[in-house]
Homo-oligomer: A and B are copies of this chain.
Amino acid sequence: MSDTRPLILISNDDGFDAKGINDLAEMVRDLGDVVIVAPDGGRSGAAVSITSGMPVRLKKISSEPGLEVYSCTGSPCDCVKIALDSVLDRQPDIVLAGINHGDNASINVLYSGTMGCVIEGMIKHVPSVGFSSCKREPNADFSALKPYVRKIVKNVLSLGLPPHLCLNVNFPPCEEFKGVRVCRMDEGEWVNEWERRIDPRNREYFWLTGTYKAYTPDDDSTDRWALNHEYVAITPIQLDMTAYKAFDQIQELIK
């Protein structure tokens, strides 16, 4: 790895061999040296989870000029942690995650392993951006994202991001986008989440499924609205989750 080119760390929650992460690396490869440290398999829904109860392993998958690839047995967040601590010889200039096969807009920020990578990068003072597409298929065509991904990565590399803030960028499933909107995180909930089944031994089991239901579906300030209307949604996400507005009300609870 060069000491003078930007150093770009990439991870995801779909695994090091997913199409999305490899497409992302190709899109930005000429902008710096790329190191991929990503899970050894799918970790969708891993959130900002960390592996505390068992050790993790790291494996070098490939190395060529400007691109190294490692897989890790841990969570997406573990991958960023171990890359920063034990793989890279200097702080990266940017952490990217994705391209996720499936969007991470709205409250899915909280469930998303992709955003787990990005949040960890933010905690560690590295400008961090997650890219996700509504296209879920393993062989999805992400080529329409390329100019947007490159512009955002170039601008973040040159301008940085405010401290303790990261970006959640989501793309609608269409091939042409109406524009880019800076959005708030949509709030809502997943409903009808469990499908009950009976296994061949006549024992009950449950699959997580469900439908997303926005609290205020017609609000055009949200990332969900932007995606539903064919806009690219950029949602700035902050580390501080404190509800300052509620301080007086909470004081009443402890009187």
Contacts and interface: CB of A to CB of B under 8 A. Distances in A.
Interface string A199-232: 0000111111000000000000000000000000
A221 B251 CA distance: 14
A81 interface: yes
Interface in A111-125: 111, 113, 116, 119, 123-125
Interface string A180-194: 101111010110111
A82 B47 contact: no
The quantity of this chain's copies bound in the complex is: 2
B123 A194 contact: no
A53 B52 CA distance: 20
Given A187-B239, A236-B247, A206 B57 contact: yes
A15 to B, nearest CB: 11
A44 to B, nearest CB: 5
Interface residues of A, number: 80
A77 to B, nearest CB: 8
Interface stretch (A17-25, A63-71, A90-98, A158-166): A158-166
A14 B31 CA distance: 44
Interface in A42-75: 42, 44-53, 55-58, 74-75
A56 B162 CA distance: 40
A4 interface: no
A123 to B, nearest CB: 5
Q: Which of A113, A196, A197, A254 has the largest count of B CB atoms less than 10 A from its CB?
A: A254
A81 B242 contact: no
Given A241-B185, A246-B236, A44 B52 contact: yes
Contacts of A42: 53
A107 interface: yes
A189 B252 contact: no
B107 A123 contact: yes
A27 interface: no
Contacts of A74: 208
A207 B254 contact: no
Given A109-B241, A185-B241, A253 B58 contact: no
21 contacts: A44-B53, A45-B50, A49-B49, A57-B203, A77-B111, A81-B194, A85-B194, A86-B194, A110-B119, A110-B123, A110-B239, A110-B241, A156-B253, A162-B243, A164-B187, A167-B250, A182-B247, A183-B242, A187-B240, A237-B243, A241-B241
